[in-house]
Amino acid sequence: MTTILDIHNKWHKKNKCELKKTATQPVFGNGNPKAKIVFIGEAPGKDEDISGIPFVGRAGKFLNEMLEEIKLKREDVYITNTVKYRPPNNRDPLPEEIRECLPWLIEELNFIKPKVIVTLGRHALNRFFPEAKISEVHGKLLKIKIEGLKTENFFALYHPAAALYNGGMRETLIEDFKKIPLVLEK
């Protein structure tokens, strides 16, 4: 039987992304492969590159706090990134780097088949909704049928790293996050 780890190992081997050369290691998605909810960030940062686990740095701690607020643990959800290797100096991943990691992300998502995909930040949002503006769609349930993707429900949030030091955005993210249990019930 195929496991989520088989999927990660397969794509890590196949992947031709330039970022592989500079990253310490791949950062596979992490958490419950049977989760109803998957969070997608953009790309691993320094802490993630060192540990091999997504969202373990400051943004990750903030994410854990918000999960706790809605009575969820990391083990209840699944967390991954659009790109599995750290871009040098945390620059934005290039379009070709994102493209190279996309089939990996899609297979990962289709294995888990979550009820809802939560995008963290505008980059993850724009992978699925290229035209959407995060300032307009955050905190809303979005529906889209994407060819090859089994999940149709999306929920857009600001990125915890962007919201950490921006009071207004932080408040908005915390408020939006509290809507997740309702979104899951629908």
Q: Which stretch binds ligand URA (CB under 6 A): 3-11, 31-39, 51-59, 132-140?
A: 51-59
For 64-69, the CB contacts below 8 A with 24+ separation are 66/160, 66/173, 66/174, 66/177, 69/174, 69/177, 69/178
Q: Per the structure block, which two tokens stand in for 140?
A: 């809303």
Question: From the CB of 119, what's the least distance to ligand URA, in Å?
Answer: 10
Question: Least Å distance between CB 151 and ligand URA?
Answer: 19
Residue 132 or 150 having the CB closest to ligand URA? 132
Tell whether the torsion through CA atoms of 137, 141, 144 and 150 is positive or negative: positive
Per DSSP, what are the bridge partners of residue 30?
79
Residue 54 binds ligand URA, judged by CB under 6 A: yes
Q: CA–CA separation, 71 vs 65, rounded Å?
A: 10
Q: How far is the CB of 124 from ligand URA (least distance, A)?
A: 7
Taking the complex as a whole, how short is the minimal distance between the CB of residue 58 and ligand URA, in angstroms? Answer: 8
Q: Which of 17, 42, 66, 129 binds ligand URA (CB under 6 A)?
A: 42
Identify residues 59-118 at the interface with ligand URA (CB under 6 A).
59, 81
Beta bridge partners of 41: 81
Contact 162, 54 (CB under 8 A): no
* Residue 163 is a binding residue for ligand URA (CB under 6 A): no
Residues at the contact surface with ligand URA, assessed by CB under 6 A? 41-45, 48, 54-55, 57, 59, 81, 161
